[in-house]
Amino acid sequence: MDTSPIRSLSVLPALREDVELRTADGLTLVGELALPVDRPPQATLVTLHPLPTHGGFMDSHVLRKAAWRLPALAGLAVLRFNTRGTTSPRGTSQGAFDGGGAEGLDVAAALDLVEHRGLPHVWLLGWSFGTELALMHGRDPRVEGAILLSPPLRRAGDDDLDGWARFGRPLVALVPEHDDYLQPPAARERFSRVPQAEVIGVDGAKHLWVGEASVRRVLDEVVAHIVPQVPVPLPTTWTAPSGTFVDEEESA
Instruction: Please write the tens of the pLDDT for every residue from 45-104.
Output: 999 999 999 999 999 999 999 999 999 999 999 999 999 999 999 999 999 999 999 999
- What digits encode the pLDDT tens for the residues 174-219? 999 999 999 999 999 999 999 999 999 999 999 999 999 999 999 9
CB 235 within 8 A of CB 210: no
Considering its fold, how many domains does the chain have in total?
1
Measured between alpha carbons, how far is 67 from 11 in angstroms, rounded to an integer? 9
Domain holding 124, by residue range, is 2-251
pTM of the model: 0.95
Q: pLDDT tier at 1 (50, 70, 90 boundaries)? A: confident
| CATH number for 51 | 3.40.50.1820
